[in-house]
Amino acid sequence: MNEKPPYDAPPGATGSDADSGAEPEPTAEELARAASLARLVDRISAGEPPPPAMPAEDRLLLDAAAMIHAAHQPRQLPARKVNELVAAALAQPDAEPRRSSRKAGPDKTEPGFVGPVLLAFPGGARREAATATAPGDADADLSAAPERGSASGIDLRPRSTRLRVMVGTVVLAMAAALALWVWSARQNRLGAGRPGGAGLATGSGLGQKLRSRSAGSLLGGPIASAESGNARARMDLVFADRLSGYREVVFRGRARRGVATEVSP
Amino acid sequence: MISEQAEAQLLEEERRLIERAQAGDRDAIRPLFERFAEPLYSGVILPRLGDAATAEDVLKDTFLTAIEKIGQFRWQGRTVYVWLRQIATNKVIDVHRRTARAGRLAHALAEELETTTVPTTSADVALISAEESRINRGRIATAMEALSPRYREAIRLRLIEEQPREACAAAMKVSLGNFDVLLFRAVRAFRKSFGDPMGAEGEDSA
């Protein structure tokens, strides 16, 4: 259909880059999003709530449109609703008024007061000091739990605090790794000094035969190339030696308990 | 506008109610909440959030926080609305911060809080509402100055004057669909102007 393109700037128009000269043709996606926003704006005008689920970007645009609308078409809150909200707030059992406590020091009730907010450690998240605190929040609130309704899910701690926590965590991890390495090395040295080779726990009480050891002593040194194919015999020898050690451990235990130690064929 | 005498009486009544509330009678604060609910909602919270349901929740949270912290409030001879307004604005910033993409908008609101003064210290609710409305429109107007005339016109017709889409399209001599696109771009540009440049760039690149 013949339509005047809407994107040619009218004569003498000045403005943003988006409107200088002809505006770009909308894409299909933009057309769809524009239509969606149009329907949502209709809901704003009608005082209807927005749909519960919508794309995040569309919601941000809708919020912006609603802010403009609300600034020029203020919506009255019905008296019934006001009573409801006030009654609900007063009925909350957790919201107990704290009794007045006169505190010396600077008065913090000035609006727009920006005061330092101590950080609850460990792991406590407090709002950036640049955010104005409600007057009267002052000292008594510094170590309190985050106030009801505060943001959650987003780490609002100052960058310096996050950095300190990160550095501390890294230092602790490195210290733990170092301690583990030192302990392991110590164990190795202790193990190396005992008969039976490295890596043994202290005080095992096992005889040399029962410890992990090389099979070299059984096989008698390097294997001649002519004998390299006779692996089966060597394996049988090593296996018999290890089985003997195993039986000694098992039957020694049973003998101590008075159990018969006959080996079944 | 009320007389000075009436103003003084209102302030005295507020002071007495605050004292009772601080002494433990939480119900004493009810009249103050009922008095200032409207200017808080329509003057402070809703214009900064846009969504009515969320605004109601924030208003209730404001009352809850006020109840909790009433013991720390110090009477300075002016209306308690100033204090309630502070709490409400902080709650609004909290809401915006919950949305990651709206972080810069929250930052803009926080900066606005630091730089603007309370509109009035009067206890006259009508005056308070009028002053809040003036501030809100000023905020919007400042952001809209950065927009092109066509964008401003689209926003003015549709969102400020609440004209139907068809009437707006006819006034701007475009088709209905094209007007929708124009308004879409206008709102996006407004958001960028108001303090969310990353948000607008992200949308532009979509």
pLDDT tens per residue, range A151-192: 444 555 667 788 888 999 999 999 999 999 998 888 777 655
> Domain check: are B63 and B113 in the same one?
yes
**pLDDT > 70: what percent of chain A?**
54
> Domain check: are B54 and B85 in the same one?
yes
Residue ending a domain, choose from B122, B144, B166: B144
pLDDT tens profile A40-63: 999 888 877 778 788 888 888 888
Q: Which residue of A has its CA nearest to B203?
A: A57
Residue ending a domain, choose from B95, B118, B144: B144
pLDDT band at A98 (very low <50, low <70, confident <90, very high): low
Domain around A61: 36-76
Which residue of B58, B113, B162 is in closest CB contact with A112?
B113
Residue A62 within any structural domain of the chain:
yes
Number of domains present in the structure of chain B: 2
ipTM: 0.80
The predicted pLDDT at position A70 comes to 85
The CATH number of the domain holding residue B117 is: 1.10.1740.10
> Domain check: are B137 and B166 in the same one?
no
Report the distance separating Cα B162 and Cα A73, nearest Å.
Answer: 9
pLDDT tens digit at each of 206 positions of chain B? 678 888 888 889 999 999 999 998 989 999 999 999 999 998 889 888 877 888 999 999 999 999 999 999 998 888 899 999 999 999 988 887 776 555 556 566 666 655 555 656 667 788 888 888 888 888 889 889 999 999 999 999 999 999 999 999 999 999 999 999 999 999 999 988 886 544 443 444 33
Residue ending a domain, choose from B121, B144, B167: B144
Number of domains present in the structure of chain A: 1
Residue A143 within any structural domain of the chain:
no
> Domain check: are B27 and B89 in the same one?
yes
Residue A71 within any structural domain of the chain:
yes
Contacts of A105 in chain B (CB under 8 A): none
Residue A47 within any structural domain of the chain:
yes
Q: A43 touching B, CB under 8 A?
A: no
Q: B22 touching A, CB under 8 A?
A: yes
The predicted pLDDT at position A135 comes to 45
> Domain check: are B78 and B172 in the same one?
no
Contacts of B51 in chain A (CB under 8 A): 49-50, 63, 66
Contact A56 B101 (CB under 8 A): yes
- The half-sphere exposure of A79 on its side-chain side, counting CA atoms within 13 A, is 2
Q: A80 touching B, CB under 8 A?
A: no
Residue A148 within any structural domain of the chain:
no
Min Cα–Cα distance to chain A from B9, Å: 22
> Domain check: are B178 and B97 in the same one?
no
Which residue of B61, B95, B162 is in closest CB contact with A73?
B162
Q: Which of B40, B84, B97 to mutate to test the interface with A (most CBs of A within 10 A)?
A: B97
Report the distance separating Cα A134 and Cα A242, nearest Å.
Answer: 77
pLDDT tens profile A211-249: 777 777 777 777 888 777 778 888 888 888 888 888 887
> Domain check: are B154 and B125 in the same one?
no
Domain around B103: 1-144
